[in-house]
């Protein structure tokens, strides 16, 4: 179903104006159900990034100079306007990315919450002071880093854009956002949202385009001192290398292959619900998906059989259909990549559910929810991020083996532990190599907490004050309160 008012062109937003690419080039924007182009988006390059940086520079003093309260008020306003657009946003997001409409509907609320939360944080934030007896007093001044470069992926694009926009704006940065080229549609709503909310022209600039062109130009720009990136590990590595040229501050939220460890003493019904939801919601295109399920051997066969049954019952269908639980994968290139992993998996492990295009969907990027059992730790489907509705299951005999298997990949984003023995739950939480752990739960976020990964899953933390730390520089001011004794080098009297 095609949403009403679908734009046929998606333009940059620079200095408060919608503009074409400087060289007039565009790229095709397709939907993942028909895989045909429905719009043309401006194809940004260095000249567009230059123009956006100039606009962001011109707006910087005004925005950074507002009080925290004044910026927070604008952020609250943005949240209200985002929520007022929730219907259109959900339709756009679902149409462009293939997310089931029921899951796209939650995105506006989550995006609005990001703005409200960071408005609250910036107003509540104090700055540190240090006193050395009666002699010296030192205090910290937090200043916005400057012009922020925000680069985002195509999974839940609008929500992830808000996750970066909100703290950057709260901190007083002006910015350039480069949305993912496979899903620019929902980002086309930002100009009207931000303008209506009263964000001054040039504070937020959006340059669309291909990663290697527009994204790279942003990373290479000498006047953009900070890059916040969410995307794949390979791209992240490349961006860190490029950023070294200008010694930029970077935050890297990268890929994952997160383990779910299920012990026999767990509430197995709840664990099963959680495993199914964690890996098949958002089409499995979720960085924190529990895509490796490690199950204690005494319940392994039973758990795997029930997981396969549930997977077979998950409703795959049109993203616009409210009963759909898994929609269409975002792009034919990504779909081919996921299918390739399924073929690899068929050679490496025992396929117990899915593994094919659903019979009732002859077109579009659809895949049956797929479960592989008896997956060896060296298997590629155990080691590599697939980023689709595919899960690898393996047995373990003892706690130590469970931890070893959980840690046996290059990634370290999230981990999920299911046990009724809380001592064991905490023990494993402390030894598992990941940035985030949930015990007896799927991924339920608290915006105050640090978000990020270890190993190949990322560098740095966002969320809560960690985000404010990232988007601001702390300057220390030391003040002498008494006469300071200074050795008098070179003095003759």
456 binds ligand NAD, rule: CB under 6 A: no
Q: Is 249 left (phi over 0), alpha (psi -120 to 50) or beta?
A: beta
Residue 253: active-site member: yes
| Residues in 218-257 that interact with ligand NAD by CB under 6 A | 219, 230-232, 235, 238-239, 253-256
CB of 212 to ligand NAD, least distance (A): 5
Residues 70-109 as x/- pattern, contact with ligand NAD by CB under 6 A: ----------------------------------------
- The DSSP bridge partners found for residue 474 are 142
Q: Which helix (H) or strand (E) holds 438?
A: strand 436-439
| Residues in 391-430 that interact with ligand NAD by CB under 6 A | 413
Pick from 181, 296, 325, 348: which binds ligand NAD (CB under 6 A)? 181
In the complex with ligand NAD, the residue whose CB is nearer, 216 or 274, is 216
CB of 270 to ligand NAD, least distance (A): 25
**Alpha carbon of residue 487 to chain centroid:** 54
In the complex with ligand NAD, the residue whose CB is nearer, 146 or 452, is 452
CB of 215 to ligand NAD, least distance (A): 2
In the complex with ligand NAD, the residue whose CB is nearer, 100 or 231, is 231
CB of 445 to ligand NAD, least distance (A): 11
At 196, give phi and psi (nearest 5°).
-65, -35
CB of 159 to ligand NAD, least distance (A): 10
Residues 184-223 as x/- pattern, contact with ligand NAD by CB under 6 A: ---------------------------xx--xx--x----
CA distance linking residue 232 with residue 256, whole number of Å: 9
Q: Which entry of 181, 253, 296, 348 is annotated as an active-site residue?
A: 253
149 binds ligand NAD, rule: CB under 6 A: no
CA distance linking residue 390 with residue 280, whole number of Å: 8
Pick from 32, 146, 153, 284: which binds ligand NAD (CB under 6 A)? 153
Sort 333 into a burial class: Cβ within 10 Å, 0-12 / 13-18 / 19+: exposed
Pick from 96, 113, 325, 385: which binds ligand NAD (CB under 6 A)? 385
Q: How far apart are the first and last CA of the chain?
A: 90
- Those residues whose C-beta lies under 8 Å from the C-beta of residue 490, and which sit 6 or more positions away, are none
Residues making up the chain, counted from first to last: 493
- Those residues whose C-beta lies under 8 Å from the C-beta of residue 430, and which sit 6 or more positions away, are none
Is residue 200 helix, strand or coil?
coil
Sort 404 into a burial class: Cβ within 10 Å, 0-12 / 13-18 / 19+: middle
Pick from 60, 95, 117, 154: which binds ligand NAD (CB under 6 A)? 154
- The DSSP bridge partners found for residue 365 are none
CA distance linking residue 295 with residue 397, whole number of Å: 9
CA distance linking residue 103 with residue 306, whole number of Å: 24
CB of 104 to ligand NAD, least distance (A): 16
Size of the site for ligand NAD (CB under 6 A): 30
In the complex with ligand NAD, the residue whose CB is nearer, 232 or 320, is 232
Report CA-CA distances (Å) from 197 to 4, 78, 190: 23, 5, 10
Q: Which residues bind ligand NAD (CB under 6 A)?
A: 151-155, 160, 178, 180-181, 211-212, 215-216, 219, 230-232, 235, 238-239, 253-256, 287, 385, 387, 413, 453, 458
Positions marked active-site: 253
């Amino acid at each position: 179903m095609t949403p009403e008012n679908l734009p046929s062109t998606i333009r940059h937003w620079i200095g408060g104006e919608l503009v074409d690419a400087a060289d007039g080039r565009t790229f095709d924007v397709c939907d993942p159900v028909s895989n045909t182009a429905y719009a043309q988006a401006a194809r940004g390059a260095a000249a567009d990034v230059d123009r956006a940086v100039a606009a962001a520079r011109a707006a910087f003093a005004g925005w950074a100079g507002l009080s925290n309260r004044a910026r927070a008020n604008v952020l609250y306003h943005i949240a209200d306007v985002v929520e007022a657009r929730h219907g259109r946003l959900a339709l756009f997001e679902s149409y462009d990315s293939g997310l089931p409409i029921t899951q796209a509907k939650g995105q506006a609320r989550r995006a609005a919450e990001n703005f409200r939360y960071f408005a609250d944080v910036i107003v509540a934030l104090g700055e540190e002071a240090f006193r050395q007896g009666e002699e010296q007093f030192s205090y910290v001044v937090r200043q916005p880093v400057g012009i922020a470069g925000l680069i985002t992926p195509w999974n839940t694009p609008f929500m992830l854009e808000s996750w970066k926009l909100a703290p950057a704006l709260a901190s007083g940065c002006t910015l350039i956002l480069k949305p993912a080229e496979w899903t620019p549609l929902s980002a086309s709503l930002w100009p009207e949202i931000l303008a209506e909310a009263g964000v001054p022209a040039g504070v937020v600039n959006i340059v669309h385009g291909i990663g290697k062109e527009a994204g790279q130009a942003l990373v290479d720009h000498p006047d953009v001192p900070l890059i916040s990136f969410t995307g794949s590990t390979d791209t992240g590595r490349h961006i860190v290398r490029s950023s070294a040229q200008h010694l930029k501050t970077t935050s890297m939220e990268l890929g994952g292959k997160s383990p779910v460890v299920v012990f026999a003493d767990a509430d197995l019904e709840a664990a099963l619900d959680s495993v199914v939801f964690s890996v098949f919601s958002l089409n499995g295109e979720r960085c924190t998906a529990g895509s490796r399920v490690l199950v204690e051997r005494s319940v392994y066969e039973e758990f795997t059989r029930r997981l396969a049954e549930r997977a077979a019952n998950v409703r795959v269908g049109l993203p616009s259909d409210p009963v759909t639980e898994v929609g269409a994968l975002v792009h034919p290139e990504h779909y081919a990549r996921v299918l390739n992993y399924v073929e690899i998996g068929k050679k490496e492990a025992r396929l117990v559910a899915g593994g094919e295009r659903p019979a009732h969907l002859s077109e579009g990027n659809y895949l049956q929810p797929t479960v592989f059992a008896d997956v060896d730790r060296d298997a590629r489907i155990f080691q590599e991020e697939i980023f689709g509705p595919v899960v690898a299951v393996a047995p373990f005999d003892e706690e130590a083996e469970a931890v070893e298997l959980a840690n046996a990949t290059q990634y370290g984003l999230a981990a999920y532990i299911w046990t009724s023995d809380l001592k064991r739950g905490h023990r494993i939480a402390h030894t598992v190599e990941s940035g985030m752990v949930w015990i007896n739960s799927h991924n339920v976020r608290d915006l105050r907490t640090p978000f990020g990964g270890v190993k190949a899953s990322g560098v740095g933390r966002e969320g809560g004050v960690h985000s404010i730390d990232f988007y601001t520089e702390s300057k220390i001011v030391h003040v002498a309160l008494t006469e300071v004794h200074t050795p008098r080098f070179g003095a003759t009297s």
